[in-house]
Amino acid sequence: MKVLVTGGAGFIGSHVVDLLLENGYEVVVVDDLSTGRRVNLNPKAKFYQLDIRDPEVERVFEMERPDFVSHHAAQVDVRRSVADPFFDAEVNILASIKLIEYARKFAVKRFIYISSGGAAYGEPEYLPCDENHPINPICQYGASKHTVEHYLFMYQWMYGLNYTVLRYPNVYGPRQDPFGEAGVVAIFTGNMLKGNPVIINGDGEQTRDFVYVEDCARANLLALTVEHENGIYNLGSNRGASINEVFSLLKTITHYPLEKQHAPAKLGETRYIYLTAEKIQKSLGWRITFSLEEGLRKTAEYFQKVEMSGT
């Protein structure tokens, strides 16, 4: 069986590629390396350096005839989505529609789409958020990621294209970029290991649902191997961790000597969010296997060994 992974040189996508290869799948990666890194590419995967907006992607489908698609490539920066909503929509909506159309045209068996379990819900009406929670995004990124879910529902209804939407929480772990626009864990870890100041936007009491990257990769594998209904599935830990809590844990793990600093909160960010993964637990048998402290420790060890050493 062959899987086409968009964004397969990226932080999360590369872990998905590795796990698929370990389990006997043939993998094709499409990535433009704008945020992904060549060093993340598994040499056993076939690689096409292409922007998902490029018409040449259709030729990849035609030549490779993938059985499955795992669509990770996206514009993921909330601040950029606010500043440039046209670019956000072009990458996250229009390019995704093209991929879905290619999947229909070339008879893909299942389309796995990575959506947002934080930005799409907006400010929660109740916690933890389940899949029935109202969708009220407060930033363009959340709106763009959710829009594609509707297209998948329509393509299943009209053409029989099977699909699985995985609404990711805040994913962290090895290979997340600690130097650019990245998740808070990577940024904090990179700054702590270098002895630089750590700046928290807002008071730090905002909560997020942090899930280790290997757990997210395993959800993608289960979506291919376990029979389940088409639809939307949250990934989550069923608890919220504050940014201050993450800082304190990493401070202890890295022996960071400085205190945190604060800056103004970022526009368009949700205050409190965490998700229940009860649906995917029942349907696919997925559950968290790494605690927050364990995952942070593994992340810090990776950054110390690889990112900070340049190896």
pTM for the structure as a whole? 0.94
User: Rounded to an integer, what distance in angstroms lies between the CA atom of residue 48 and that of residue 170?
Assistant: 28
Burial classification of residue 88, based on how many CB atoms lie within 10 Å of its CB (0-12 exposed, 13-18 middle, 19 or more buried):
buried
Q: How far apart are the first and last CA of the chain?
A: 33
Residue 226, domain CATH: 3.40.50.720
Indicate whether 66 and 200 sit together in one domain. Answer: no
Instruction: Identify the active-site residue in 25, 113, 141, 274.
Output: 141
- Domain residues for the domain of 225 are 2-169+212-234
Indicate whether 14 and 31 sit together in one domain. Answer: yes
Whether the CB-CB separation of 291 and 165 falls below 8 Å is answered with: no
E-strand ranges in 52-193 read: 68-71, 110-116, 162-168, 170-172
Indicate whether 89 and 120 sit together in one domain. Answer: yes
pLDDT, one tens digit per residue, over 168-222 is 999 999 999 876 556 899 999 999 999 999 999 999 999 999 999 999 999 999 9
pLDDT, one tens digit per residue, over 254-298 is 999 999 999 998 876 778 999 999 999 999 999 999 999 999 999
Indicate whether 180 and 219 sit together in one domain. Answer: no
Indicate whether 202 and 292 sit together in one domain. Answer: yes
pLDDT, one tens digit per residue, over 208-244 is 999 999 999 999 999 999 999 999 999 999 999 999 9
pLDDT band at 79; cut points 50, 70, 90: confident
User: What are the backbone dihedrals phi and psi of residue 148, each rounded to the nearest 5 degrees, phi first?
Assistant: -65, -30
Catalytic site residue 274?
no
Indicate whether 18 and 156 sit together in one domain. Answer: yes
Indicate whether 222 and 109 sit together in one domain. Answer: yes
